[in-house]
């Protein structure tokens, strides 16, 4: 006798009753109140078997283990660097996770990363108190030199990357830019100024139109209408 | 504050009988003023909303969860909520309101914070802060209620986890009538006793998160007023939900 009160894939708001009856289970973004399942945040309802969850559409980035992020160095300490993650909490990059190079004790750490530098790093640990450890050992994890940084809605990042990176590699091909998309909603773009601008506009377009079907096709048309022609696929990280 | 102009208007409306038979703006006694709501009106904020009820207009902006300084204010168990209520200098219908905070705005910031606190799940954001700024460019009584309604939409727009939204309305008594959503003329009614009771609640469970009272009212009248508030808060919540759904059905971009 359990029944769904809202259709799958509709937008729900906090306090909205999603289902009645005890056969449904509350997952992320929902909670149970007696025999009802209630949404606890704004988003898209996803019914996965018996579990009901809300896929967030908005909000700040929440650090998660395993995410590749682009962060800005905000402080240099004795034992490492503090990195702004575009969330409420800064991350710590310790000496041993920073480079594969040997760093002598007492060395001037600003030689490696200085305040204001942008880095690509991966979150290795997040504690309950939201202390974040990041590492820069791994493929594609590096300091970003030149180019420009833009911030996007972190919940739209999967759309910007596309299936198996299809969207971002299309942007790369058409604009000849190097692009790195951080899971935290920070995007780095490097190329010629005009092409960089085109890449920025394309990403903004993806952001605003991500809910309309046929996105890939439209973005391709947009790029071609802007006079961009695809170059040979480049081998870049991400 | 608004002075003699108002008073003469009220005097003209009265025809010497001792009861409030018809509302100044012709509404039914349990009817609110016209409402309008919009989500995502300020693009640089994490969440924002506009809420208008009659001639009272509230803008709410939400920033955060973000890093909290000064450090001693941080709470390692849960995040904190900070509300700033601000009546703009030109907002009243009378004299200019002195800009910046005053005793009244500090108290209202505090009561609005307390009204929203029960729904916001701050345990997810230790050591951080969620800032809410409520600005009122136009006021005609009921500002704290309009502020709460706007703030609640803005919080949802900012993607913050919350048990329910909060809807608020003022009920009260003007002379011998129980009324909903008093405007300034009614608050300033002079030919009989007036009571102004702002109520905020979670519309789904009808749990009250704010209840204040100014004036004279009997227990029975108060209970009657709260019954009205329960019904009206559900209508307000429908307006709030509609505002959010409209924004996100169109992709969720700010204006």
Per-residue pLDDT reduced to its tens digit, B19-65:
888 999 999 999 999 999 999 999 999 999 999 999 999 999 999 89
For B76-86, b where at least 16 C-beta lie within 10 A, e where not — what string? eeebbbbbbbb
The first and second tokens of residue B57, run together, are 């207009």
Q: Are B82 and B132 in contact (CB under 8 A)?
A: yes
- For B158, the closest chain A residue by CA position comes to A59
| Residue B249, min C-alpha distance to chain A (Å) | 7
Q: Is B154 on the interface with A (CB under 8 A)?
A: no
What is the pLDDT at residue A236?
54
The DSSP code sequence of B13-37 is H--S-SS--S-TT---TT-PPPEEE
Average pLDDT over residues B132-137: 98
Q: Can you tell me the distance from the alpha carbon of B89 to that of B93, in angstroms, rounded to the nearest whole number?
A: 11
- pLDDT > 70 fraction of chain A, expressed in percent and rounded: 97
The first and second tokens of residue A207, run together, are 């952001």
The first and second tokens of residue A170, run together, are 């299309």
Q: How confident is the model at residue B8 (pLDDT cuts 50, 70, 90)?
A: very low
Q: Are A41 and B159 in contact (CB under 8 A)?
A: yes
List CB contacts (< 8 A) between A56 and chain B: 159
Q: Is B165 on the interface with A (CB under 8 A)?
A: yes
The first and second tokens of residue B47, run together, are 């969440």
User: Does residue B255 have a pLDDT over 80?
Assistant: no
Would you give the DSSP letter of residue B190?
-
Name B1's Cβ contacts closer than 8 Å, sequence gap at least 6.
Answer: B92, B94, B95
Which of A30, A33, A58 to probe the B interface (max B CBs under 10 A)?
A58
Residue A13: count other Cβ atoms within 10 Å of its Cβ. Answer: 25
Q: Can you tell me the distance from the alpha carbon of A91 to that of A30, in angstroms, rounded to the nearest whole number?
A: 29
ipTM of this complex prediction, to 2 decimal places: 0.92
Dihedral Cα B145, B146, B148, B154, nearest 10 deg: 170
- Does the bond joining A13 to the residue before it have cis omega, within 30 degrees of 0? no
Would you give the DSSP letter of residue B206?
T
Between chains, do B156 and A88 touch, taking CB under 8 Å as contact? no
In the beta sheet, which residues pair with residue B20?
none
List CB contacts (< 8 A) between B203 and chain A: 15
List CB contacts (< 8 A) between B42 and chain A: none
Which of A15, A42, A56 comes nearest B204 by C-beta?
A: A15
| Residue B78, min C-alpha distance to chain A (Å) | 9
In the beta sheet, which residues pair with residue B15?
none
- Alpha carbon A198 to its chain centroid, in Å, reads 20
> Which stretches of chain A drop beneath a pLDDT of 70?
1, 232-238
**Mean pLDDT over all residues of chain B?**
92
Which of B67, B79, B160 comes nearest A59 by C-beta?
A: B160
Phi first, then psi: give them for residue A166, nearest 5 degrees.
Answer: -65, -40
pLDDT tens figures, B61-115: 999 899 999 999 999 999 999 999 999 999 987 789 999 899 999 999 999 999 9
Q: Which of B179, B181, B164, B182 is nearest to B221 (CA)?
A: B179
List CB contacts (< 8 A) between B251 and chain A: 208-212
pLDDT tens figures, B156-187: 999 999 999 999 999 999 999 999 999 999 99
What is the pLDDT at residue A101?
86
* Residue with the two structure tokens 């309009």: B146
What is the pLDDT at residue A1?
65
Q: Which of B175, B150, B180 is nearest to B165 (CA)?
A: B150
Q: Is B237 on the interface with A (CB under 8 A)?
A: yes
The first and second tokens of residue A75, run together, are 């402080």
Edge to edge, what strands does the sheet with B47-53 contain?
B35-39, B47-53, B56-67, B128-138, B80-87
Q: Is A26 on the interface with B (CB under 8 A)?
A: no
Q: Are A54 and A39 in contact (CB under 8 A)?
A: yes
Would you give the DSSP letter of residue B162?
B
Which of A88, A185, A204 to probe the B interface (max B CBs under 10 A)?
A88
Q: Is A57 on the interface with B (CB under 8 A)?
A: yes
What is the pLDDT at residue B16?
47
* Whether the predicted model's global pTM rises above the 0.90 cut: yes
Helix locations, B122-218, DSSP H? 143-157, 184-187
Average pLDDT over residues B239-251: 94
User: Does residue B189 have a pLDDT over 60?
Assistant: yes
Between chains, do A33 and B248 touch, taking CB under 8 Å as contact? no
Strands A51-56 and B56-67: unpaired
What is the pLDDT at residue A231?
80
* Residue with the two structure tokens 């696929």: A233
Q: Can you tell me the distance from the alpha carbon of A3 to that of A24, in angstroms, rounded to the nearest whole number?
A: 8
What is the pLDDT at residue B95?
84
In the beta sheet, which residues pair with residue A73?
A83
List CB contacts (< 8 A) between B250 and chain A: 211
The first and second tokens of residue B181, run together, are 């959503």
Average pLDDT over residues B224-229: 96
Q: Report CA-CA distances (Å) from A204 to A1, A21, A84, A201, A209.
A: 45, 42, 23, 5, 9
Q: Is B47 on the interface with A (CB under 8 A)?
A: yes
Residues in chain A: 238
Task: Spell out the SS3 assignment of chain A.
Answer: CCEECCCCCCEECCCCEEEECCCCEECCCEEEECCEEEECCCEEEEEECCEEEEEECCCCCCCCCCCEEEEEEEEECCCEEEEECCCCCCEEEEHHHHCCCCCCCCCCHHHCCCCCCEEEEEEEEECCCCCEEEECCCCCCCEECCCEEEECCHHHHHHHHCHHHHHHHHHHHHHCCEEEECCCCEEEEECCHHHHHHHHHHHHHHHHHCCCCCHHHHHHHHHHHCCCCCCCCCCCCC
Between chains, do B126 and A130 touch, taking CB under 8 Å as contact? yes
pLDDT tens figures, A111-146: 999 999 999 999 999 999 999 999 999 999 999 999
User: Does residue B3 have a pLDDT over 80?
Assistant: no
């Amino acid at each position: 006798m359990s029944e769904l009160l809202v259709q799958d894939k509709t937008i729900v708001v906090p306090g909205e009753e999603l289902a009645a009856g005890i056969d449904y289970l509350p997952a992320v973004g929902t909670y149970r109140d007696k025999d009802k399942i209630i949404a606890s945040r704004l988003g898209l309802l996803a019914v996965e078997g018996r579990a009901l969850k809300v896929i967030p559409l908005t909000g700040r980035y929440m650090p998660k283990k395993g995410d590749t992020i682009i962060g800005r160095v905000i402080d240099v300490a004795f034992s490492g660097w503090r990195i702004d993650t575009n969330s409420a909490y800064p991350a710590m990059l310790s000496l041993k996770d920073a480079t594969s190079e040997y760093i002598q004790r007492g060395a001037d750490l600003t030689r490696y990363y200085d305040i204001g530098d942008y880095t690509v790093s991966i979150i290795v640990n997040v504690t309950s108190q939201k202390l974040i450890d990041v590492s820069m050992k791994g493929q594609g994890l590096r300091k970003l030199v030149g180019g420009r940084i833009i911030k996007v809605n972190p919940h739209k990042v999967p759309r910007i990357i596309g299936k198996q990176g299809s969207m971002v590699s299309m942007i790369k091909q058409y604009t000849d830019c190097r692009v790195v998309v951080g899971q935290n909603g920070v995007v780095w773009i490097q190329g010629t100024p005009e092409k960089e601008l085109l890449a920025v506009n394309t990403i903004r377009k993806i952001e605003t139109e991500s809910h309309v079907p046929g996105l890939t096709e439209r973005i391709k048309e947009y790029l071609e209408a802007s006079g961009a022609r695809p170059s040979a696929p480049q081998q870049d990280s991400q | 504050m608004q002075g003699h102009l108002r008073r003469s208007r009220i005097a003209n409306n009265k025809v010497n009988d001792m009861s409030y038979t018809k509302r100044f703006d012709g509404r039914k006694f349990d009817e609110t003023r016209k409402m309008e709501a919009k989500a995502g009106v300020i693009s640089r904020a994490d969440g924002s909303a506009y809420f208008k009820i009659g001639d009272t207009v509230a803008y709410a902006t939400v920033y955060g969860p973000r890093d909290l300084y000064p450090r001693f204010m941080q709470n390692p168990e849960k995040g904190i909520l900070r509300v700033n209520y601000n009546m703009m200098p030109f907002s009243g219908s009378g004299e200019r309101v002195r800009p910046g905070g005053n005793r009244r705005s500090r108290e209202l910031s505090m009561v609005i914070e307390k009204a929203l606190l029960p729904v916001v799940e701050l345990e997810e954001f230790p050591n951080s802060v969620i800032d809410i700024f409520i600005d009122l460019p136009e006021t005609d009584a009921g500002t704290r209620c309009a502020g709460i309604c706007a703030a609640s939409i803005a919080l949802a727009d900012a993607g913050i986890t919350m048990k329910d939204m909060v809807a608020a309305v003022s009920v009260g008594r003007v002379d011998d009538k129980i009324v909903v959503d008093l405007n300034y003329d009614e608050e300033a009614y002079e030919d009989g006793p007036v009571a102004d009771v702002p109520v905020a609640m979670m519309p789904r469970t009808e749990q009250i998160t704010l209840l204040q009272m100014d004036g004279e009212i009997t227990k029975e009248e108060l209970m009657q007023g709260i019954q009205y508030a329960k019904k009206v808060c559900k209508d307000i919540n429908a307006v709030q939900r509609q505002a959010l759904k409209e924004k996100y059905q169109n992709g969720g971009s700010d204006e």
